[in-house]
Amino acid sequence: MDPITVFAILENCYKYGEWIVVFCESCKHADQELADRARKVESVWIRMKEQAQFMERIEPVMKPELRYDFKESLKVLERKLSVANANIQAVQQHEIALGPGGKKKIFQFQRWARKGKFAWEKETLDEIITDLDDWRDRFDPTWYLTMLNANPKIDEELRKAGLQASHQAHHARSASRGVDSRDGSFPPSPTRTPPPSYSSETPSPRGLQRNLSWDVPTPLALAGGIREAVRPKDSTNASVFLAEREMETLSIPYSSAKLAKFPTSRSGMSMILVKVDISNGVSKADKTEDVRDLARRLKNANPYAFGLLKCTGAIKIFHRSPERREKWLTGIDIVFETPKNTDARQMHSLRELLVKANQAGEELTLTRRVQVAKELTQAVNYVHTFDFVHKNICPESVLVVDNDDALTSRRRRSTFLVGFECFRSSDGNTVMRSDTAWERNIYRHPSRQGFNVTEKYRMQHDIYSLGVCLFEIGLCESLLTFADVPGPLKPEFGPIIQEFLEWYTKTTGRELSNAYQFHTAGPKFKEFLIEYAKTRLPKKMGERYTQVVLSCLTCLDEGNDSFGDLAGDDDEYDDEEDGSTIGFRFIKQILTKLNEIKL
């Protein structure tokens, strides 16, 4: 990358950004709605500037593809900021554009002019907020992916940034009290201005950050958390395992996760439990170590930034003999915090929403479907950024919060990925066996179905499973149905599976006599999904969404434009190098294309 070019782009970005901040300062004395927008723009710009400055410092050690993407992202930001400044200049000149001819009209009446000016300023700030949010959606995933680079330069710059942020926070607190932070005295001034008082209407800078970001820390803090999560394991770390305690639990319909709380708690269901079974064929020591590693990594997760719940630890589950003299480990409950400001009663599994769409006609709106698809895809991306594979992506593993705030705020995430029953570290040992449960196999790539699988598990297998989920979300139809009868839920073939069985018989001349043979038809089911997506999805979701689904479903095919060259034999696959490449391509070819869908 040409450093002069990058320097010039950054200088323009900083210049335009400061002009926008000056404009925002002038808006803070207007009506409350305008002032709130101005504060939001300032808050977002401060974060973006910190990210850009940090990337500028670590640019020499970045991988070539990430370095190039950084440059291209800066070009996009420069254009957006330039347009924003042009709009601001037009506002400041009291002009309104009329029609495509570009004609201008000067306000003539003062009162009407003031109202019109405020309305135009609000519209201008709304456009700036939308543009900056769009840029963050594009930039943030690669920003966090950069944190996987093991170069110590990144750690050093994060340390410096942390010290600088701490110093600035201390200075701001001192200034708010009217104290000179250099010597603890009041600043030398003939007439000392009283320190500003921040109310709920005009939050403090520190409070503003949280109010506007829904409890999301700064990007630098989140980046530091990812660095901490992917560090080599340290045997001196404190144990993640919690003492056994009695809990009250509540099942989440159609989900393996449960809501939980301690009996003495007054805060409602504040935890989510995901049980990891330890079967006879799995090493208890290996599974315990996997859980310990997952809990260590996800203690740094932020639900609103990553779509992954923060892990507070794990509880071992023992079966005891009647005499209670012996006990043996049968499972482990992984404990997650429910997202802040979330009512657990509004939490549903994605499967429940899809089943209701099938049975009761409660179809999700197009806006809701796109939102859930985007947020689920982001969560899968961050699973891989945290350097492990999920291995169980399906609608039962996805929790969706029924919250109006999620529809009115782009930054109010409502979709979270759980269900880590089968996870492992991306570089950990994989088990070359599966099962014949058809309701799970329909979300697995054909190479990972049946008792004797043919490929080691890798990130693309998660991407394939995501593709099946996006297929269901787009059509708003569950592949599974459930009989409305008392007792445990028993999955049955949904309408689309019924169509597949008819298609399978027609194209092969054979019948699947029972559900347990379903895994033998894995390649044909994948072929059916692809053809079904090509013919049915465009009418429901459009061409762009359809292409994303097809890219996911074919991600292990050699002819796939995005991932085909990484679909080689297991012996040729490098977890670290190929994993990083897959992560970058997933961001550019799947996540970015989904984010480009605007409604």
In three state form, how does the secondary structure of 106-126 look? ECCCHHHHHHHHHHHHHHHHH
Residue 476: CB atoms within 10 A of its CB come to 20
Greater pLDDT, 77 or 405: 77
Task: Report how far residue 348's alpha carbon sits from residue 396's, in angstroms, rounded to the nearest whole number.
Answer: 10
Residue 360's identity, in one-letter code, is A
Whether the per-residue pLDDT at 28 is higher than 90: the answer is no
**Of the candidates 497, 501, 500, which has an alpha carbon nearest to the alpha carbon of residue 513?**
501
| Contact predicate 433/502, CB 8 Å | no
Strand, coil or helix: what is 413? coil
User: Residue 18 in 3-state DSSP?
Assistant: helix
- Name the residue ranges covered by the structural domains of the chain: 3-175+208-229, 248-595
In one-letter notation, the amino acid at residue 564 is G
pLDDT of amino acid 193: 34
Give ∠ CA 447-544-309 in degrees, rounded to 5: 65
Q: Which residues contact 99 (CB under 8 A, 6 or more apart)?
A: none
Beta bridge partners of 103: 98
Identify whether the C-beta of residue 146 lies closer than 8 Å to the C-beta of residue 59. Answer: no
Among all chains, which residue has been given the structure tokens 């003031």? 114
In 497-594 the beta strands, taken as DSSP E runs, fall at none
Among residues of the chain, what percentage have pLDDT more than 70?
78
Confidence tier at 254 by pLDDT (50, 70, 90): very high
Average pLDDT over residues 217-229: 88
State how far the Cα of 469 lies from the Cα of 461, in Å rounded to an integer. Answer: 13
**Would the pTM count as exceeding 0.75?**
yes
**Which residue is listed with tokens 């961001």?**
587
More confident residue, 356 or 268: 356
Backbone angles phi, psi at 177, to 5 degrees: -95, 0
Position 434 confidence tier, pLDDT thresholds 50, 70, 90: low
Q: How high is the pLDDT of residue 539?
A: 95
**If you classify domain 248-595 with CATH, what class do you get?**
mainly alpha
Q: Is 487 helix (H, G, I), strand (E, B) or coil?
A: coil
- Spatial distance between the Cα atoms of 368 and 542, rounded to a whole number of angstroms: 15
Query: 148-202 pLDDT, tens per residue?
Result: 888 999 999 999 888 877 777 666 666 655 544 444 443 443 333 333 332 333 3
Query: Which of 133, 123, 127 has its CA nearest to residue 48?
Result: 133
In 3D space, the residue among 558, 537, 559, 532 whose CA is nearest the CA of residue 547 turns out to be 537
Token duo for residue 593:
């294309």
**3-class secondary structure, 452:** coil
User: What does the alpha-carbon distance between residue 259 and residue 335 come to, in Å, rounded to a whole number?
Assistant: 10
HSE of 586 in the Cβ direction (CA atoms, 13 Å)?
31
Long-range contacts of 317-324 (CB under 8 A, 24+ apart): 317/275, 318/244
Q: What is the DSSP letter of 479?
A: S
Residue 388: half-sphere exposure toward Cβ, Cα within 13 Å: 27
How confident is residue 55, by pLDDT bands cut at 50, 70 and 90?
very high
Q: How far is CA 191 from the centre of its chain?
A: 50
Compute the distance between CA of residue 564 and CA of residue 524 in angstroms, rounded to an integer: 20
Residue 504 pLDDT: 94
471-489: pLDDT as tens digits: 999 999 999 999 877 777 8
Q: Which residue, among 290, 458, 303, 287, has the nearest Cα to 389 in the 3D structure?
A: 458
Q: What is the pLDDT of residues 79-97, one digit of tens each?
A: 999 999 999 988 887 544 4
Look-up: residue for tokens 């482990």?
A: 332
Helices marked H in 284-423 — which ranges?
A: 284-298, 303-306, 350-359, 366-385, 404-408
| CA nearest neighbour of 51 among 147, 150, 170, 130 | 147
Helix H, strand E, coil C: the string for 257-315 is: CEEEECCCCCCCCCEEEEEEECCCCCCHHHHHHHHHHHHHHHCCCCHHHHCECCEEEEE
Report d(CA 542, CA 535) in Å as an integer.
Answer: 11
Asked whether the beta carbons of 404 and 441 are under 8 A apart, the reply is no
